[in-house]
Amino acid sequence: MAQTEMPARKRGRPESENADTPGGLSKEELHKLLRQMLLGRRFEEKTAESYAIGKIGGFCHLYIGQEAVTVGAFSCLRPDDYVITAYREHVQALVKGMAPRSVMAELYGRSGGSSKGKGGSMHLYSKEHNFLGGWGIVGGQIPLATGAGWAIKYRGGDQVCLCFMGEAAVNQGAFHESLNMAALWKLPVIYIVENNRFGMGTAWERASSLYDISQKAHAYDMPSLIADGMDVLSMRSTMMEAVDRARTEKMPTLVEARCYRFMGHSMSDPVSGVYRTKEEVEEHKAKDPIRVFIEQLQSAGVLSEEELTAMDKEVHAEVEDAAEFADQSPEPGLDELYTDVYAEENEHGRLFFDNKNRLEQA
Amino acid sequence: MAQTEMPARKRGRPESENADTPGGLSKEELHKLLRQMLLGRRFEEKTAESYAIGKIGGFCHLYIGQEAVTVGAFSCLRPDDYVITAYREHVQALVKGMAPRSVMAELYGRSGGSSKGKGGSMHLYSKEHNFLGGWGIVGGQIPLATGAGWAIKYRGGDQVCLCFMGEAAVNQGAFHESLNMAALWKLPVIYIVENNRFGMGTAWERASSLYDISQKAHAYDMPSLIADGMDVLSMRSTMMEAVDRARTEKMPTLVEARCYRFMGHSMSDPVSGVYRTKEEVEEHKAKDPIRVFIEQLQSAGVLSEEELTAMDKEVHAEVEDAAEFADQSPEPGLDELYTDVYAEENEHGRLFFDNKNRLEQA
Amino acid sequence: MAMITYREALNAALAEEMERDKDVFLMGEEVGMYNGAYKVSKGLLEKFGELRVVDTPITELGFAGLGVGAAMLGLRPVIEFMTHNFAMLAWDQVFNSAAKVLYMTGGQYSCPIVFRGPSGAALQLSAQHSQALEATYAHFPGLKVVTPATPADAKGLLKASIRDGDPVVFLESELLYALKGEVPDDADFIIPLGVADVKRQGTDISLITHGKMALTCLQAAAKLEKEGISAEVVDLRTLRPLDVEAILRSIHKTNRAVYVEEGWSFGGIGATIVSLIQEEAFDYLDAPVVRVTQADVPMPYAKQLEKLAKPTVERIIEACNRVLYRTQEA
Amino acid sequence: MAMITYREALNAALAEEMERDKDVFLMGEEVGMYNGAYKVSKGLLEKFGELRVVDTPITELGFAGLGVGAAMLGLRPVIEFMTHNFAMLAWDQVFNSAAKVLYMTGGQYSCPIVFRGPSGAALQLSAQHSQALEATYAHFPGLKVVTPATPADAKGLLKASIRDGDPVVFLESELLYALKGEVPDDADFIIPLGVADVKRQGTDISLITHGKMALTCLQAAAKLEKEGISAEVVDLRTLRPLDVEAILRSIHKTNRAVYVEEGWSFGGIGATIVSLIQEEAFDYLDAPVVRVTQADVPMPYAKQLEKLAKPTVERIIEACNRVLYRTQEA
Ligand SMILES: Cc1ncc(C[n+]2csc(CCOP(=O)(O)OP(=O)(O)O)c2C)c(N)n1
Ligand SMILES: Cc1ncc(C[n+]2csc(CCOP(=O)(O)OP(=O)(O)O)c2C)c(N)n1
Ligand SMILES: [Mg+2]
Ligand SMILES: [Mg+2]
């Protein structure tokens, strides 16, 4: 499993062990971060391929360009911490520890998928990894995250919950209602706004009267932070503060992670032309978080060409294996149609009002 | 009609004409303000009486103690400005110009009422006076107010819209969504939060993580003001700034009017005991905005005992007349049940699916 | 057995289930310090403390969604809507999250939650506060819908709903809270979901109904008896799951039926029941099933108009006459 | 007459009505610069400018309510929901404000507004993005509900909806946007609300339906013809007002019917239609009316499961056989 387990360092204390390496992390730790970003990138390149040839259907939203946000943030987590997010979540599912096989099979709509093919690209979940998924209504996951935080507090646990959302979700009423409750009741939830500049075709400044998202936290007397979502290590150090606060002080934080979406909103949306120029996209691609991190590691002398090639090869293989598995995984059985609608069906009364019952009688 | 028409003075310019009188207003103007507050108070005292003997039913929310907020605010309006509010709106209906008769008859559920008895206490409206009423879903009127502001802008008009809400409505998503749009599109709406400390039995600090409501405006890059809702003149001067800004610069403002509810939340809620002490209520009653204003006018020598007695007598008579009228006003005809459901019924198709049609055939 | 009110029965159900299972908590507006807008949660804050009886801001969408998230983590939230009229603000979380999470996760995350509160008209609360909304809830697969009419049903069904593994929408009634009735004290008194209750036996006609209207139907049946007509009153009690067998049994016996409900006609519960009856007992019907519903208008405030808009004993009897003596028609 | 797509027909209706009446404006997510998520509003921003074609933040509750407020002041907003699945967030404003304002104001303030957007399942969009929600809208008096199936209906009905004095919920379909058909160019081509369209004449059985399913029913009818069965296809086109006469006319002719709809069964449109038929044409029915609906589950993602969940030509024919040859049953 790709589950991140970095030393959850006490707040403030420097990682002096490796004071000389980037982020004060060991070579293994740095390689792990890179590998997670690479895996996400390659996985989604494969996803685009499979979508193009019709093996994946429906809405599909790629995360390419935003990998540093997730990898940096998750590196502050314990395996038992919770993550919930929207529909652009393939990479988050992987980095939280879900097997590429189960994720790809879900995208393919196969029985080997994490939801047995019932959810698809927008609805990835893993109870085993405390990955709460995978939601399609913009802003809908924010109250749910607040509920996860509530449950942690209710049980006196010391886990935290990361709630990811796009910047456009900030304008939803659900954001306002949730942050107030989280601050009022001191819930260990970190609300991470991935500000990739656009909600579909709408630039943030065309949708909000306030440019600086982090300032919205003041309305709830909640601490907030701004993170460079294009730099995995700065993302990590910013999140370390928020996670420590949530874990130790049970206080929520609003984090604005500034990043950029390299691809179109979904597979049907052209990369550029309508609401942003080719130049703008190229400009940001020049700051590709993976390339930048690679160069950083190389110049720090903790990543050799061979190591990089080997890692990329390994990741490629993992992705190919996942696609292979998905291809082989059988379609869900037709009997699956009526399972998982209800967790509990007693012997009384009727729950289904289509011709299911008649079919069964027949 | 009691419609307020004060000189809508240019911003900043002092009302030097009456520099020596309270608020720099003429005696007539001051008397008008007092009379409006008195009318509201007496009208609601009568309302409580009528409710007690069953002439008024359903939910009924009294405004007693908050009169200065409305009277001060409305004194900055032109007749063609709009007002929209929640369910604690009797006094706002009166001060916007609605006849006490039509308001009382509506509370009585009679055909002479502003909504022909179909709306009741929570649903008062007057198209003639641009009073958009009278809404029962907490926060529901906030998007509607934003729409009124939109319509004003759309038509290039220079009216403004006042949107009243209780402090508890601030936590609703509708508040967040509306203020963002109003600030983003520069709509001439003034959002007035009547902070009477409680939402039903919940004190503000138990419902919000941020105490200072006016600060919530920063989240929308919107100007905000705090007003003393117990002092009609300071309420007026604060609102003058907001109204001028809306009218001239087409910019919204969030105004927190600090006030206090002297009665229970609704007729079934005891004044004190459960969520606030008798002492707390008495303390605030000592600052009764009407008594305070009377003393102010008297010490300024612009209100004699005789004038006050005469005014109160007049107001009493007006209220008694309204109750008399309501009593005499016939019940709405049973045929009214099916009118006003649709504004347009063509000769095709069926719109009502109960036994209306059969009844009509019979 | 104890003689208690519908309100006390709900209160007892909550207290007993919270006693029994520490994962059960109650959250909503005014449920704590205020003891509930309708006093259903009286004393619970004192008994269980602030973590388990939680006063919320007025943010229906927010705390309904919070409940769903907490349920995903295994807690058993009871979310009180002060009334279901206000729940519309939260419907996205009820329909798009609670009702679908088990399916979208392929069975990984269940959502054992109860959304409860009064529904339907009380007295002169006018259009925004008088809506019977069970039909809308019952439309969505993934939800269970419960509408108790008596104190005993209220207790037995609320306990069953809290113990149930799925999202349950529980619709009470302001006008029933003060109703008294015999209620078993037994801490394990449960009425399983999906079992209708024939509240009165009859042979000539079936009055099929749910919720508050069960009492109105019983009154109508008593009057009809004086006219020599034996009406059976079938209280469905839960709409999803639905006790179709009980409906068919009654139809097989009486061959005539009237459906009575508080809510609106188009897309109402009665429409579905009538369809099921004609699909599954077509040859047993001697006359069309007639539906008695709220007038197809927003609820008016004026007393007489409101009375005219509501289903009444008179209108039920008028409907029975139509069904029993069709020849008099047309 | 011009051969254009359903999408272009809607676009033309919008453009013509905005041309005709300066109080008409379009507001919603991505309707302007992006030309609409489904390109229905293509070119309108350019033609009418930012004040009349308005891109909104993602705040369904907020801009739906904004539209209602603007309508109270006499404007004629057309509010686009990117899909009706997201409209649930705005339902409080649709049901508690738009549907009730005329009544609560005693006729003072009307609310001439259109809430439009696609509804129902497209392809593999799974549970949260595949809901046919017309039944929920039709339940609430005060609303009108329109579900066009063809380009001509789309244009004529949208123009009628925009000119109508009441709140109209207009449900389109992602899968129909690219459908081509003959559409009158006439700027005053209007299809009045409340008039069903018999899209195919038949004598043996009535396929009654609305929206997208009208096309599926036509395919089924074509197949049935080969089997020597003459099926009539009655497309209701508008659900509220409802052309009950057209339904009864067809029943009087065929004495047998199947209702076909995209949405769920419990509380679905079919349930209401079946109830009306048995109430008003009881003696004309030779067999129970059977309903073909979506499987009673949240829509699954997997291709085959989704196909199994949707009403298909096969399932319609199977239903027709049941209705036509009842003796083969039981
Ligand atoms: C309530 C709701 N409204 C509209 C949509 C359609 N929609 C899907 S994604 C999206 C844009 C969201 O942008 P953002 O929140 O910034 O996330 P991003 O796509 O940039 O990751 C929209 C409008 C939706 N899914 N839910
Ligand atoms: C959406 C919604 N939730 C709950 C209610 C019930 N309710 C009516 S008034 C009220 C308190 C509102 O307090 P506030 O907004 O401060 O206004 P005030 O009553 O103090 O004037 C509540 C909870 C409602 N009407 N609407
Ligand atoms: Mg974005
Ligand atoms: Mg208050």
Dump pLDDT digits (tens) for B42-84: 999 999 999 999 999 999 999 999 999 999 999 999 999 999 9
Bridge-based pairing of strands D238-240 and D144-146 is antiparallel
Ion ligand 3 residue ranges (Cβ < 5 Å):
A 166-167, 196, 199
Interchain proximity D265–A334, CB inside 8 Å: no
Closest Cβ–Cβ partner in A140, A146, A342 for C92? A140
Q: Distance (Å, rounded) from C-alpha C234 to C-alpha C230?
A: 13
Closest Cβ–Cβ partner in B137, B208, B334 for C86? B137
Contact D227, D326 (CB under 8 A): no
State residue C180's pLDDT score.
98
CA dihedral C311, C315, C319, C322 (to 10 degrees): -160
Interchain proximity D309–A332, CB inside 8 Å: no
State residue A356's pLDDT score.
72
| Residue A359 confidence (pLDDT) above 90 | no
Q: Distance (Å, rounded) from C-alpha A186 to C-alpha A173?
A: 20
| Residue B175 confidence (pLDDT) above 70 | yes
State residue B358's pLDDT score.
54
Q: Which residue of chain A has the CA closest to D270?
A: A354
Indicate if the alpha-carbon torsion angle D316, D317, D319, D320 is positive or negative: positive
pLDDT digits (tens, 9 = 90+) for A178-220: 999 999 999 999 999 999 999 999 999 999 999 999 999 999 9
Task: Please name the chains neighbouring D, where neighbouring means 3+ C-beta pairs under 8 angstroms.
Answer: A, B, C
Interchain proximity D267–C139, CB inside 8 Å: yes
Band (A20; pLDDT cuts 50, 70, 90): confident
Query: CB B285: neighbour CB atoms within 10 A?
Result: 14
Query: Distance from CA of residue C177 to its chain's centroid?
Result: 13
Alpha helices by DSSP H, B155-272: 173-184, 204-207, 232-244
Residues 6+ apart with CB under 8 A from C71: A147, C77, C98, C110, C111, C112, C113, C167
pLDDT digits (tens, 9 = 90+) for A91-117: 999 999 999 999 999 999 999 999 999
Query: Token pair 């289903």 is at which residue?
Result: C311
Q: Distance (Å, rounded) from C-alpha A278 to C-alpha A207?
A: 22
How many helices (H) and strands (E) chain A has is answered by: 12, 8
Q: Is D311 exposed, middle or buried (0-12, 13-18, 19+ CB in 10 A)?
A: buried
Q: Which residue of chain B has the CA closest to C298?
A: B341
CA of B169 to the centre of ligand 4 (A): 8
Q: Is B333 on the interface with A (CB under 8 A)?
A: no
How many helices (H) and strands (E) chain D has is answered by: 13, 14
Q: Distance (Å, rounded) from C-alpha B236 to C-alpha B242?
A: 10
Residues 6+ apart with CB under 8 A from D65: B140, B142, B143, B144, B146, B147, B174, B178, D90, D93, D97
C-alpha Rg value of chain B to the nearest Å: 21
User: Which whole number is the average pLDDT over C217-230?
Assistant: 97
Q: Which residue of chain D has the CA closest to B111?
A: D106
End-to-end CA distance of chain D: 51
Letter string b/e over residues C224-233, b meaning 16 or more CB atoms within 10 A of that residue's CB: beeeebebbb
C77: which strand partners?
Answer: C25
Percentage of chain B modeled with pLDDT above 90: 92
State residue A327's pLDDT score.
98
Interchain proximity D275–C279, CB inside 8 Å: no
Can you tell me whether residue A189 is helix, strand or coil? strand
Query: CB B306: neighbour CB atoms within 10 A?
Result: 8
Residue of A57, A91, A55, A129 whose CA lies nearest to A329: A55
Half-sphere exposure of C72 (CA within 13 A, CB side): 38
Of A357-361, C158-162, C173-177, D319-323, the poorest mean pLDDT is in A357-361
Extract the runs of DSSP E, i.e. beta strands, from B220-351. 224-228, 253-258
B263: phi then psi, degrees, rounded to nearest 5: -100, 180
Can you tell me whether residue C270 is helix, strand or coil? helix
**Does any ligand 1 atom lie closer than 6 A to the CB of residue D60?**
yes
Closest Cβ–Cβ partner in B126, B152, B343 for D102? B343
User: Which whole number is the average pLDDT over D79-101?
Assistant: 98
**Mutation choice for D interface testing from A202, A265, A276, A336 by most D CBs within 10 A:** A202
Residue of A168, C34, C282, B113 whose CA lies nearest to D59: A168
State residue D1's pLDDT score.
87
Could you tell me the two tokens for C284?
């047993």
Q: Which of B88, B138, B266 to mutate to test the pocket of ligand 2 (most atoms within 8 A of CB)?
A: B138
How many helices (H) and strands (E) chain B has is answered by: 12, 8
Give residue ranges with CB within 6 A of ligand 2: B 88, 136-138, 166-169, 196, 198-200, 261, 265; C 29, 58, 60, 82, 86, 89
| Residue D330 confidence (pLDDT) above 70 | no
State residue B8's pLDDT score.
45
Task: Please name the chains neighbouring C, where neighbouring means 3+ C-beta pairs under 8 angstroms.
Answer: A, B, D
Q: Distance (Å, rounded) from C-alpha B257 to C-alpha C104?
A: 46
Percentage of chain C modeled with pLDDT above 70: 98
Q: Is B157 on the interface with C (CB under 8 A)?
A: no
- Take atom 22 of ligand 1 and give the residue whose Cα is closest: A200
Average pLDDT of chain B?
Answer: 94
Average pLDDT of chain A?
Answer: 94
Give the DSSP per-residue string, C290-309.
Answer: EEE---SSPPPSSHHHHHHH
Query: Distance from CA of residue A41 to its chain's centroid?
Result: 13
Q: Distance (Å, rounded) from C-alpha C295 to C-alpha B5?
A: 44
User: Which whole number is the average pLDDT over C265-291?
Assistant: 96
Contacting residues of B for D243, CB less than 8 Å apart:
348-350
Contact C231, C218 (CB under 8 A): no
Q: Which residue of chain A has the CA closest to C90?
A: A174
Of A21-25, C131-135, D235-239, the poorest mean pLDDT is in A21-25
| Residue A4 confidence (pLDDT) above 70 | no
Contact D249, D212 (CB under 8 A): no
Q: Which residues of C belong to the active site?
A: 60, 129
State residue B362's pLDDT score.
46
Q: Is A173 on the interface with B (CB under 8 A)?
A: yes
Can you tell me whether residue B203 is helix, strand or coil? strand
Q: Is B137 on the interface with C (CB under 8 A)?
A: yes
Question: Is D129 known to be catalytic?
Answer: yes
Closest Cβ–Cβ partner in B171, B180, B208 for A209? B180
Task: Write the DSSP symbol of residue D298.
Answer: P
| Residue A7 confidence (pLDDT) above 90 | no
Half-sphere exposure of C321 (CA within 13 A, CB side): 12
Contact C79, C115 (CB under 8 A): yes
Contacting residues of B for C34, CB less than 8 Å apart:
200-202, 274-275
Counting from 1 in the atom list of ligand 2, the atom nearest the Cα of B61 is: 19
| Residue A6 confidence (pLDDT) above 60 | no
Bridge-based pairing of strands D24-28 and D76-80 is parallel
State residue D325's pLDDT score.
80
Q: C121 to chain B, minimum CA–CA distance in Å? A: 11
Closest Cβ–Cβ partner in A174, A184, A216 for B219? A216
State residue A5's pLDDT score.
46
Q: Is A64 on the interface with C (CB under 8 A)?
A: no
Interchain proximity B171–C58, CB inside 8 Å: yes
CA of B170 to the centre of ligand 4 (A): 10
Helix, strand and coil percent figures for chain A, each rounded to 5: 50, 10, 40
Contacting residues of D for B117, CB less than 8 Å apart:
106
Closest Cβ–Cβ partner in A180, A210, A218 for B215? A218
D55: which strand partners?
Answer: D28
**Mutation choice for D interface testing from B96, B106, B144, B357 by most D CBs within 10 A:** B144
| Residue A16 confidence (pLDDT) above 70 | no
Q: C329 to chain A, minimum CA–CA distance in Å? A: 33
Contact C91, C61 (CB under 8 A): no
Half-sphere exposure of B6 (CA within 13 A, CB side): 30
State residue A319's pLDDT score.
98
Q: Which of A164, A200, A213 to mutate to test the pocket of ligand 1 (most atoms within 8 A of CB)?
A: A200
Average pLDDT of chain C?
Answer: 97
CA of A198 to the centre of ligand 3 (A): 4
| Residue C327 confidence (pLDDT) above 70 | no
Q: Is D59 left (phi over 0), alpha (psi -120 to 50) or beta?
A: beta
Q: Is B330 on the interface with D (CB under 8 A)?
A: no
User: Which whole number is the average pLDDT over C180-187?
Assistant: 95
Residue of C125, C71, C121, C124 whose CA lies nearest to C94: C71
| Residue A24 confidence (pLDDT) above 60 | yes
CA of C54 to the centre of ligand 4 (A): 19
A306: phi then psi, degrees, rounded to nearest 5: -60, -45
Q: Is C76 exposed, middle or buried (0-12, 13-18, 19+ CB in 10 A)?
A: buried
| Residue A361 confidence (pLDDT) above 90 | no
Indicate if the alpha-carbon torsion angle C3, C6, C8, C9 is positive or negative: positive
User: Which whole number is the average pLDDT over B286-297?
Assistant: 98
Letter string b/e over residues D180-207, b meaning 16 or more CB atoms within 10 A of that residue's CB: ebebeeeeebbbbbbbbbebbebebbbb
Which residue type sits at D66?
A: L
| Residue C129 confidence (pLDDT) above 50 | yes
User: pTM of this prediction?
Assistant: 0.97
Query: CB D161: neighbour CB atoms within 10 A?
Result: 29
CA of D94 to the centre of ligand 2 (A): 20
Q: Distance (Å, rounded) from C-alpha C38 to C-alpha B69?
A: 31
Q: A122 to chain D, minimum CA–CA distance in Å? A: 8
Query: Distance from CA of residue D211 to its chain's centroid?
Result: 5
Query: Distance from CA of residue B189 to its chain's centroid?
Result: 15
**Residue D47 is inside which H or E element, if any?**
helix D44-48
Give the DSSP per-residue string, D91-120.
Answer: HIIIIIIITTHHHHTTTS-----EEEEE-S
| Residue C328 confidence (pLDDT) above 70 | no
pLDDT digits (tens, 9 = 90+) for B180-199: 999 999 999 999 999 999 99
State residue B356's pLDDT score.
72
Residue of A150, B136, A148 whose CA lies nearest to C27: A150
Q: Distance (Å, rounded) from C-alpha B88 to C-alpha B44?
A: 11
User: Which whole number is the average pLDDT over B214-226?
Assistant: 98
User: Which whole number is the average pLDDT over B255-262?
Assistant: 98
Query: Token pair 């990043």 is at which residue?
Result: A259
Query: CB C17: neighbour CB atoms within 10 A?
Result: 22
